[in-house]
Amino acid sequence: MRRITTLVLSWFGRGLVVVSVCFIAYIFWEQRQEIAGIEIDTTLVLVIAITAFSYGLAGFLLSSSWYLLLSGLSDEPVSGGWCHGVYGRTQIGKYIPGNIFHFAGRQVHAKQAGLSQLLVLGSTVYEMLLLLASSSSLAFIGLLLTRVQVQGASLYFVGTVLILIIAT
């Protein structure tokens, strides 16, 4: 039974990769006129290289934080290499509409590795809360720096709520 489940999950994962790649290809096809009009020069190549490196570094930092969350929540040792590999492989699931399949992929990989599903769910919840807190903090700093007025609320109120969320 376990072998059949593993086989089904493996094929399901492959199917998700195919759906993700097809979705990305569809988006490129829809934008083909705009893409064809782009003039490629050394500045563009340099900007793409820098942003690709930055995106890769951000992914590594996110997988490192997932490793730290799993390690902190687990009584068992968790391999950093395994966490980075799983996190990297499951990121393609972000590109399937719904943006949840990368979380589901990590759950599947963790189950196959023998980790507690509750542990991985807890790390996912903490990860989402930390991402929400950090993005909200950056947004608040941006609001302060640009002096944008938040309709219906003062920045002090927004800041106080943000501090309370981060403190909890």
Type of residue numbered 146: T
Using the 8-state DSSP alphabet, how is residue 92 labeled? Answer: G
pLDDT in tens, 85-135: 888 888 877 777 677 778 888 888 888 888 888 888 888 888 888 888 888
Retrieve residue 78's tokens.
């968790």
Residue 50 has pLDDT above 90, yes or no: yes
pLDDT of residue 57: 94
Entry pTM: 0.67
CB 142 within 8 A of CB 124: no
Q: Residue 147: enclosing H or E segment and its boundaries?
A: none
Q: What are phi and psi of 114, to 5 degrees?
A: 90, 15
CB atoms within 10 A of CB 96: 18
